[in-house]
Copies of this chain bind each other. A is one copy, B any other.
Amino acid sequence: MDKIARIDMGAAGGPKVTVGDLGNYVGLGGRAMTSLVVATEVHPLAHPLGAENKLVISPGMLSGTTGSMTGRLSVGCKSPLTGTIKESNAGGQAAQVLARLGYAAVILEGKPEGDDLYKIVINKDGIKVIVDNSLKLMDNYPLVAKLREENGDKVAYITIGSAGERKLLAASIACTDPELRPTRHCGRGGVGAVMGAKRVKAIIIDDAGMKMRPPKDPDAYRDANRKFVEGLRKHPVTGEGLPAFGTNVMTNVLNEAGGYPTRNFKTGQFEGSASLSGETQAALEIERGGSATHGCHRGCVIQCSGIYNDKDGNYLTKQPEYETVWSHGGHCGISSLDTIAALDYLDDNIGVDTIEMGVTVGVAMEAGLAAFGDDAAAIRLVEEVQKGTPLGRILGSGAAVTGKVFGVERVPIVKDQALPAYDPRAVQGIGVTYAASTQGADHTMGYAIATNILKIGGDVDPLKPEGQVELSRNLQIATAAIDSTGMCLFIAFAIMDQPETFQALLDLLSSFHGSTMTGDDFVALGKKVLSAERDFNVRGGFNKHHDRLPRFFYAEPVAPHNLTFLVKDEEIDEFFNW
């Protein structure tokens, strides 16, 4: 990872590739790379779909090595959904492959004239940008199938479906998993629309002829990795809960905690939750010959993914994540896993964020376009997105736009991004994350559920405002650092509880780079990333007044705890004072 490729899609005479050294970005990877590049090079008032925006694709600092869990690919840009800076990361094979080819970042710049659609082929011989209008308006599954015919199965694919091509604000970027399924999505913030605006339909990455990235101290790296894996295997969340039931293990947990947002955040418990739970889902997956335990990239030891088959035992979709099961499930009053799996497939195929899409369907139900609990209507609405009808374009533009177009007051968004699967009135810490995050409502920015509900890394009462800002701040700083390493965020459960596992992570970074990374250095990295992101936003007009939840969270108590969001504005305003 000693080079950066810049592809000027708007160059005179056609796209132009320039490969250069790392310059000021030396040592960065993942979110640190994407956020520093965007914050440094993109005008904060640039139109997200214009030539001034850049799409930065970056493997993590440890991606492409023998280290476990290092397969996250970060994608960054100015978000067309939120107007803030955005980093969205996904698993799949792309990060490992791109890293082994030596690219610390591939940056899509400019914007082509005309309607031509491009694919980019990256291999040991370099980078080619090729017009391929035969791919126009293809969705991810058939698109990858077609690309596989030409490029085979030993490569990784990064693609956008019809949603990205249509520049819809909920559009995602898909990465293929080890079985070449386009199921791992950089979902949030409309990053797929930015790729679509640059007219890039697919990036094909082939690391044939390349080797694993070598650590500076191979023995120490091997040793650290062994300890790291041991730590993950012994922690109850990363060693038991996630492998057995996937992220959807959280349905029962959140429902019991009264923090499961039901029917557009009207109550905190869903009567249909049992049929949606991870336990139910895993049993069904196994019964149908799918799998409840699966890694989204090679080198994963948590294996929280899975395979969801239909009644006849045929592949339907990857195991839907908890947030997807919630957004298309309880949020819409729907309690059928088969319906949700069908929607998950549709979302992955079209290429839209499952959280944004599900929340949007719920807002459409609030507007009266369908009844809560109407499974067929939910599917029909998402099919409109696939068809690209005006209604589909509205819904594919996300919850904020859908709320505006249909005159809905009750829209669960922060900075125009849909809230995920945790009610901030029952889990006050996550409300701070939604409000103060540099990227709009996003649970992965600082997963306060861990400490509020799972009692990992401490115990902060979820129902009280005290301590939530500090909790969210610490989590957001740590997350920004983890998102830079290429590590899956789920390692956080183990490193928060087990000092020796955190030390193993630091040892991995130290032994790989031949330098010393301490816990303080790790925190400093996280702060550096967050500060750059915040600075970009501030220069783009964001301030404390935008760090707020929608008004109804302050006014409407939610059952069963009958609480509103209690953290004071003044406390949240101290978030970035560290």
B401 touches A405 (CB 8 A): yes
Q: What per-residue 1/0 map shows which CB atoms of A390-419 lie under 8 Å from chain B?
A: 110110010001001111110000000000
Q: List the B residue with the shortest CB-CB distance to A416.
A: B404
B50 touches A551 (CB 8 A): yes
Q: Which of A87-95, A259-267, A512-520, A542-550 contacts B (4 or more CB under 8 A)?
A: A542-550
Is A524 among interface residues, defined by CB-CB distance under 8 A? no
Q: What per-residue 1/0 map shows which CB atoms of A333-368 lie under 8 Å from chain B?
A: 000000000000000000000000000000000000
B166 touches A407 (CB 8 A): yes
CB contacts under 8 Å to B, within A22-71, are 43-47, 49-50, 52
Q: List the B residue with the shortest CB-CB distance to A408.
A: B49
Q: List the B residue with the shortest CB-CB distance to A111.
A: B409
Q: What per-residue 1/0 map shows which CB atoms of A521-560 lie under 8 Å from chain B?
A: 0000000000000000001111111101011100000000
Is A193 among interface residues, defined by CB-CB distance under 8 A? yes
Q: What per-residue 1/0 map shows which CB atoms of A178-201 lie under 8 Å from chain B?
A: 000000000000000100110000
Is A494 among interface residues, defined by CB-CB distance under 8 A? no
B550 touches A539 (CB 8 A): no
Q: How far is the CB of A544 from chain B (nearest CB, A)?
A: 8
- Which residues of B sit under 8 angstroms from A193, Cβ to Cβ? 407
Interface size of A by Cβ–Cβ distance < 8 Å? 41
B405 touches A47 (CB 8 A): no
Q: List the B residue with the shortest CB-CB distance to A540.
A: B545
CB contacts under 8 Å to B, within A122-171, are 166-169
- Which residues of B sit under 8 angstroms from A44, Cβ to Cβ? 545
| Interchain CB contact (< 8 A) of A551 among B47, B196, B543 | B47
| Interchain CB contact (< 8 A) of A404 among B196, B397, B540, B551 | B397
- Which residues of B sit under 8 angstroms from A393, Cβ to Cβ? 394, 405-406
Is A314 among interface residues, defined by CB-CB distance under 8 A? no
Is A389 among interface residues, defined by CB-CB distance under 8 A? yes
- Which residues of B sit under 8 angstroms from A548, Cβ to Cβ? 45
B197 touches A407 (CB 8 A): yes
Please measure, in the bound complex, the distance between the C-alpha atom of A401 and the C-alpha atom of B542, giving whole angstroms.
20
Q: List the B residue with the shortest CB-CB distance to A46.
A: B551
- Which residues of B sit under 8 angstroms from A166, Cβ to Cβ? 407
Q: How far is the CB of A84 from chain B (nearest CB, A)?
A: 12
- Which residues of B sit under 8 angstroms from A543, Cβ to Cβ? 541, 543
Please measure, in the bound complex, the distance between the C-alpha atom of A541 and the C-alpha atom of B393, giving whole angstroms.
28
Q: How far is the CB of A340 from chain B (nearest CB, A)?
A: 25
A541 touches B551 (CB 8 A): no
- Which residues of B sit under 8 angstroms from A196, Cβ to Cβ? 407
Q: Which 3 A/B pairs are nearest by Cβ-Cβ distance?
A: A167-B407, A541-B545, A390-B391
Having A390-B405, A541-B546, one finds 12 other A-B pairs with CB under 8 Å, namely: A47-B550, A49-B408, A80-B404, A167-B407, A169-B404, A196-B407, A197-B409, A393-B405, A394-B394, A401-B401, A405-B405, A541-B544
